[in-house]
Structure 1
Amino acid sequence: MFYLLLTLIVFCIFMSLKTLFSPYKIKGKLVSFENFMFLTTIYVTVMIGFGLIYSLLHLNGYPALGDTSSVRPANGFADTLETSIYFSAMTLFSVGHGDIVPLGAGRVIAIIEALIGYTIPAAFVAKAVFDMEHKPPIVK
């Protein structure tokens, strides 16, 4: 069951990122609500997907995250999921705060997630510029 869930999560993340490279035309305006929602959907999918990977590893006895604060230990699945998604967001959008650190296999996963977090905006801008340059001329 572990490997099936892990495969499903990775597949969903991959399909979300694939939309950045699909031939779908982004709306003519570089700043639009549709483009904002497109980018938001990709970020949310990746953030939740990686959060689920960290949680899944934790549930199967592979420590992927360690809490450096002494505020409270994780009690149950809800706390583990909350901590995992929080860490995922901090890794995807920045370099993190240092209150939660990756352990073991979580380090490699965090590196991959940070790399994806830094390349999503670049890929989005490149796609928007490429689509604008290859837009058919308007016939009057």
Structure 2
Amino acid sequence: MFPSILIGLTIVFIVMNLFYFFTNKTYKKSYVNSALFLKLFFVMVGLTFGFAVLYYLLASNEVILKISDGTGDQAPEDFMTFLYFSGVTILSVGYGDLIPVGSARFFALIQASLGLLLPTAYFMKAMGSSSEDQ
């Protein structure tokens, strides 16, 4: 029961980070705005930690990561392993050294999608705000 509540709260935290990123604030005067860049950076860090906590909580119920070495052994279930997997997934769609299994596969797909789409949205926002100035 308690892990389910924590998983729900972690998902709410992730959604709030996304909502914060897409709120309608305008940034003007350049393609690379430091305020917009910092906003993207902190949202990406927040999502990385949020998904790491989510994987950590999911691991209390089932095996969610396996090592990709042919044996298929379970990956260590410490927070640093989940933080590493989360960071690699959001920044590069994974290296392939750890394989998500079970319910983690769905969340890894969502996280990888966010890792690709958020920087794209950043650049679209930056380009849009700078073209409005001209």
TM-score with structure 1 setting the length: 0.81
Moved more, 50-59 or 34-43: 34-43
Partner of 1:123: 121
Unaligned runs of 5+ residues in structure 1 are: none
Query: Could you tell me whether the CA contact under 8 Å between 1:20 and 1:123 is conserved in 2?
Result: no
Say whether 1:109 aligns with 2:107: yes
Amino acid in structure 2 at the alignment position of 1:29: S
Residue equivalent to 1:29: 30
Compute the RMSD of aligned alpha carbons: 2.2
Which structure is higher in RCO with an 8 Å CA cutoff and minimum separation 6?
Answer: 2
What stretches of structure 2 of length at least 5 have no aligned partner?
Answer: none
Tell me by how many angstroms 1:27 deviates. Answer: 4.5
**Structure 1 runs (4+) greater than 4 angstroms displaced:** none
Task: Give the drift of 1:16.
Answer: 1.1
Provide the C-alpha distance between the structure 1 equivalents of 2:132 and 2:13, rounded to a whole number of angstroms: 29
SS of residue in 2 equivalent to 1:96: coil
Whether the 8 Å CA contact 2:21–2:39 is kept in 1: the answer is no
Calculate percent identity across the aligned residue pairs: 29
Identify if the C-alpha distance between structure 1 residues 19 and 27 changes in structure 2 by more than 3 Å, giving closer, same or farther: farther
Rg larger in structure: 1
Show the counterpart of 2:21.
Answer: 20
1:100 shift after superposition? 0.9
2-structure distance, mates of 1:11, 1:87: 20
> 1:128 and 1:19, CA in 2 relative to 1: closer, same or farther beyond 3 A?
farther
For residue 67 of structure 2, what is the aligned residue in structure 1? 67
Q: Which residue of structure 2 lines up, in the alignment, with residue 44 of structure 1?
A: 45
